[in-house]
Amino acid sequence: MPINKRAIISGALGATASSIGKLALSPKSPVPSTFHSYCHIILNRYYQHENDIGWICPYVSLGTRVVCFLCMIGVNLLMVSSFLDGMNESGSVVGTALSTAANFSFSALYGILFFEEQVPISWFFGATLIALGMYLLSSVTLTTDDDDKTKTD
């Protein structure tokens, strides 16, 4: 049985959506604070009286959060579409397992790369067990009642 790419893509999209959501909603998110800082830099450079229009910068920060939130919703829509296609191709059990394992892996990867999270050694042990379970699930072939009836006829 070939590996279902759409289910794996849906897991990656799910992890991407959650990372974008973290950028949108986390108080420690670097995206809104970076845009807020750039706003002040631009205002200082081009306007002598920043205090007159400095009220814009919090709205710029809020706007970046709204854009990130809308992007999260869009990526979630793509994820659901890909997930449903993946389940149609390989069945609900295998599609769900592949999507979940990919989501788990990509979430950890994004956490390490973008959010400087620490991943303990026990996580790698768990990821190995999940990969083994994915392999076992994807190697099982299911038969339907129609297949059994044609064998007995």
Task: Give residue-wise pLDDT tens across range 1-52.
Answer: 566 789 889 999 999 999 999 988 888 888 888 888 888 888 888 777 656 7
Which 8-state DSSP code applies to residue 55?
T
Q: How many CA atoms lie within 13 A of 141 on its CB side?
A: 4
Give pLDDT tens digits for 8-21. Answer: 899 999 999 999 99
Give pLDDT tens digits for 88-133. Answer: 887 888 888 888 888 988 998 998 888 888 889 998 898 888 888 8
- CA separation for the pair 93, 27 (Å, rounded): 37
> How would residue 82 be classed by pLDDT, with cut points 50, 70 and 90?
very high
Centroid of chain to Cα 98: 14
Centroid of chain to Cα 127: 17
Q: Which residues of 103-132 are buried (b: 16+ CB within 10 A; e: fewer)?
A: bbbbbbebbeeeeeeeeeeeeeeeeeebee
- CA separation for the pair 41, 60 (Å, rounded): 13
Question: Sign (positive/negative) of CA torsion 10, 11, 14, 20?
Answer: negative
